[in-house]
Amino acid sequence: MTVTFIPGRGMYANAYLCRGTVLVDAGVTPMAIEAHRDTITHIILTHSHFDHIAYLPALVKLTGAKVCIHASDAGGLSSDLLSLSMQFGSHAPGIVPDIVLEGGETIEGYEVIPTPGHTPGSICLYDPETGDLLSGDTVFSDGAFGRYDFPGGSLFDLKQSLEKLTALRVSGLYPGHGLPALEHGGRHIKAAGTLIRSGYA
Instruction: Give pLDDT, residue 1.
Output: 59
Instruction: Give pLDDT, residue 164.
Output: 97
Instruction: Give pLDDT, residue 199.
Output: 77
Instruction: Give pLDDT, residue 200.
Output: 67
DSSP state of 168: S
Contacts of 85 (CB under 8 A, 6+ apart): 50, 91, 92
Burial of residue 104 (CB within 10 Å: 0-12, 13-18, 19+) is: exposed
pLDDT in 10s for each residue of the chain, 201 residues = 589 999 999 899 999 999 999 999 999 999 999 999 999 999 999 999 999 999 999 999 999 999 999 999 999 999 999 999 999 999 999 999 999 999 999 999 999 999 999 999 999 999 999 999 999 999 999 999 999 999 999 999 999 999 999 999 999 999 999 999 999 999 999 999 999 998 765
Instruction: Give pLDDT, residue 172.
Output: 97
Structural domain boundaries of the chain?
3-197
Using CA atoms, how far residue 168 sits from 73, 122, 186, in Å, is 24, 17, 8
Q: 111 - beta bridge partners?
A: 106, 126
CATH of domain 3-197: 3.60.15.10
Continuous H helices in 9-154: 30-33, 50-53, 56-63, 80-83
Going by C-alpha positions, the residue among 178, 186, 102, 83 that lies closest to residue 140 is: 178
What's the order of all strands across the beta sheet hosting 15-18?
Answer: 3-6, 15-18, 22-24, 42-44, 66-70, 99-101
Instruction: Give pLDDT, residue 75.
Output: 97
